[in-house]
Amino acid sequence: MNNNTITATTKLCAIIGSPVEHSLSPLIHNAAFKQLELNYVFLAFKVEHLEEAVMGIRALNLKGVSVTIPHKVEVMDYLDDVEEVAKKIGAVNTVLNQEGRLLGYNTDWSGAIRALEEKIELKNKKTILLGAGGAARAIAFGLKEKSADVTILNRTVKKAEMLASELNCQYGGLELLESSKPDILINTTSLGMYPKVGDTPVKKEFLKDMLVFDIVYNPLKTRLIREAEQNGCTTIMGLEMFVNQAALQFELWTGRKAPVELMRKVVVEKLL
Ligand code: ATR
């Protein structure tokens, strides 16, 4: 990056979380700012004390903040307003500073739904969601919003049950997968994520005639995605969700349309 472009009027955006050392958000947002010649810069801050960090956002007048693990839930306590869907999901991954008012949004769900809707209409589709953590929660609310027929399967069945009762959908243990015939299979567990790239949540022979979406984006092509491709399934890599959620953040912070192709390219180059 060329530091000479930073001036006294440069707007600052940042990611806050812990850990953040391996975050790709600075790369993707700075590339997008540069492409559109916007006087913005994006940094990563490792934050342990969230309330103080949010006071810092106000005091230093940061324009936008990306919020990551472990702060996505607690951050809602310190904002001035939170959009309805983020309230329902119970997590905020994006903060916009609108003339001193801090507004919370969730672009994880919309990033995932945008990626799915580019490939398939969601209404009434039999959809299995593997996992019941934060990411599953955001995507499940999005799927319900689009009237998909959702079943949540999780290693810890109790967690699947709790989420399913909020959403009024079916649930069960991971073993139920093998007796289901979904139109869409979405992996939100961390199985297959770097460095354990040999792991997969689903046996290859099960992956037939369905759309397979893995939210894991490192590696770009997880074992699940590779095996789904080999069996002729339509696939969506986690990269798409990552790029979309970042593009939606960028649009909130700058009011400009995000250069999605470029954002995808810089992440692919980094992860290849
Ligand atoms: P995130 O916020 O990214 O969704 P999370 O809240 O830690 O992360 O959720 C991780 C999900 O991956 C959980 O559903 C977890 O299952 P449990 O609820 O049983 O812990 C699932 N998961 C992680 N490792 C797993 C493994 N080895 N086998 C099966 N599921 C796994």
Please give the distance, rounded to the nearest whole angstrom, from the Cα atom of residue 134 to the centre of ligand 1: 9
**Protein residues with CB under 6 Å of any ligand 1 atom:** 131-136, 154-156, 159, 188-191
Distance, CA of 38 to CA of 25 (rounded, Å): 16
Ligand 1 atom closest to Cα of 188? 4
Distance, CA of 4 to CA of 239 (rounded, Å): 31
Q: Are 114 and 120 in contact (CB under 8 A)?
A: no
Q: To the nearest whole percent, how much of the chain has pLDDT over 90?
A: 97
- Residues 47-67 have a mean pLDDT of 98
Please give the distance, rounded to the nearest whole angstrom, from the Cα atom of residue 133 to the centre of ligand 1: 6
What band does 220 get if pLDDT is binned at 50, 70 and 90? very high
Q: What's the alpha-carbon Rg for the chain, to the nearest Å?
A: 19
Distance, CA of 63 to CA of 169 (rounded, Å): 38
Our answer to whether residue 87 is catalytic in this structure is: no
Q: Are 13 and 41 in contact (CB under 8 A)?
A: yes
Q: Whose CA is nearest to atom 8 of ligand 1?
A: 133
Q: Are 71 and 17 in contact (CB under 8 A)?
A: yes
Q: What is the pLDDT of residues 224-247, one digit of tens each?
A: 999 999 999 999 999 999 999 999
Q: Are 79 and 102 in contact (CB under 8 A)?
A: yes
Q: What pLDDT is stored for residue 4 in this prediction?
A: 66
Q: What pLDDT is stored for residue 272 in this prediction?
A: 87
pTM reported for the whole predicted model: 0.93
Please give the distance, rounded to the nearest whole angstrom, from the Cα atom of residue 132 to the centre of ligand 1: 7
Q: What is the pLDDT of residues 63-104, one digit of tens each?
A: 999 999 999 999 999 999 999 999 999 999 999 999 999 999
Neighbour count for residue 75 (Cβ, 10 Å): 26
Q: Whose CA is nearest to atom 27 of ligand 1?
A: 191
Distance, CA of 236 to CA of 229 (rounded, Å): 10
For a pocket test of ligand 1, which of 23, 109, 190, 242 has the largest count of ligand atoms closer than 8 A to its C-beta?
Answer: 190
Ligand 1 atom closest to Cα of 72? 2
Select which of 11, 34, 46, 72 is catalytic: 72
Average pLDDT along the chain: 96
- Residues 159-174 have a mean pLDDT of 96
Please give the distance, rounded to the nearest whole angstrom, from the Cα atom of residue 8 to the centre of ligand 1: 44
What band does 5 get if pLDDT is binned at 50, 70 and 90? confident
- Residues 5-23 have a mean pLDDT of 95
